[in-house]
């Protein structure tokens, strides 16, 4: 009999690709993870992993078991949801991880809605970039992620997750008031090819959006300054340190003295925001109202 606890460990190791990283995500010791993997291999009668200096890779047998693991864990999430519904569990805590602008844009309004419509649900919010929040959901550190589509992100049909689209917003060009494009109604990105750029660090989903937009425009941006805080990005642009692309919602309420904000000419780069939960958990009586409140709070709904 295969233990479900060991399937959680199998998926964590497959996701993180090293025993050490999986152990940290699961709050276990590496030796405990290794022992559970050895027990799982004994239970199945197959070698599931190949270990090397670069980490851990699934064998073909491991890939087969991982496919079944995703289905089994999703079904267990559904079982928990149905049992919670049967017990009329309308009171409890749901933990939501979201990036800063997402917190302001949808999470905080959703918290306010839930205080009126489902006062028994307590929301705990954690600030986490979009690329960090999805692994936190998969590792069961949080219940819901508000994340951004980015290169390398789990796709919408990932068997481990259920995606709920929330909103999409364009990036606007931010240039110093002295910039040659400051008087333009719209800014073609190709006109900024020779400028210094200010933007998020690699790994931040918005970094991918900026770089990809510039690549489509025919150049690689020369990123001279890096910050994940868009207030800092705008402040540097105001100091004539470079140009930037910033999500439109991040500019609301910000001091824009010293910069000009203009739409991008043509197809603007876009940030697509969604909520994600472990597949099967979307019907849980505590999580379902949270997803609904996030959807109702999303711009344009």
pTM of the model: 0.72
Question: In this predicted model, what pLDDT tens digit does every residue of 111-169 receive, in sequence order?
Answer: 999 999 988 888 999 999 877 899 999 999 999 999 998 777 888 889 999 999 999 99
201-228 in b/e form (b: 16+ CB < 10 A) is: eeebbbbbbbbebbeebeeebebebbbb
The answer on pLDDT for 23 being more than 80 is yes
Cα 123 to the chain's mean position, in Å?
A: 18
d(CA 82, CA 229): 41
d(CA 61, CA 45): 10
Question: In this predicted model, what pLDDT tens digit does every residue of 188-208 receive, in sequence order?
Answer: 999 999 999 999 998 888 998
d(CA 233, CA 110): 28
Question: In this predicted model, what pLDDT tens digit does every residue of 51-108 receive, in sequence order?
Answer: 887 788 889 988 998 889 988 888 888 888 777 765 655 678 899 999 989 999 999 9
pLDDT at 1: 75
d(CA 301, CA 295): 7
Residue 223 falls in which region: left (phi positive, over 0), alpha (psi -120 to 50) or beta: beta
Question: In this predicted model, what pLDDT tens digit does every residue of 240-262 receive, in sequence order?
Answer: 999 999 999 999 889 999 999 99
pLDDT band at 267 (very low <50, low <70, confident <90, very high): confident
């Amino acid at each position: 009999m295969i233990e479900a606890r060991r399937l959680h460990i199998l998926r964590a190791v497959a996701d993180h690709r090293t025993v050490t990283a999986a152990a940290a995500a699961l709050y276990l010791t590496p030796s405990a993870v290794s022992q559970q993997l050895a027990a799982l291999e004994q239970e199945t009668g197959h070698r599931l992993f190949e270990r090397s200096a670069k980490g851990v890779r699934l064998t073909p047998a491991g890939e087969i078991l991982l496919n079944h693991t995703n289905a089994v864990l999703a079904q267990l999430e559904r079982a928990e949801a149905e049992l919670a519904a049967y017990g009329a569990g309308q009171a409890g805590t749901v933990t939501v991880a979201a990036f800063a602008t997402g917190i302001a844009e949808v999470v905080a309004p959703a918290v306010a809605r839930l205080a009126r419509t489902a006062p028994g649900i307590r929301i705990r919010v954690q600030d986490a970039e979009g690329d960090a929040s999805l692994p936190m959901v998969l590792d069961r550190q949080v219940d819901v992620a508000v994340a951004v589509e980015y290169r390398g992100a789990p796709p919408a049909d990932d068997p481990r997750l259920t995606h709920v689209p929330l909103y999409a917003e364009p990036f606007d060009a931010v240039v110093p008031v002295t910039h040659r494009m400051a008087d333009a109604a719209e800014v073609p990105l190709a006109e900024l090819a020779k400028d210094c750029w200010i933007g998020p660090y690699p790994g931040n989903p918005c970094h991918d959006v900026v770089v990809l937009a510039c690549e489509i425009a025919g150049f690689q941006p020369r990123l001279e300054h890096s910050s994940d805080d868009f207030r800092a990005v705008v402040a540097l642009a105001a100091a004539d340190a470079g140009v930037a692309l910033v999500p439109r919602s991040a500019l609301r309420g910000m001091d824009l003295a010293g910069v000009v904000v203009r739409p991008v000419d043509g197809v603007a780069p876009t940030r697509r925001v969604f909520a994600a939960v472990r597949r099967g958990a979307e019907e849980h009586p505590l999580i379902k109202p949270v997803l609904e409140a996030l959807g109702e709070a999303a711009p344009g709904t």
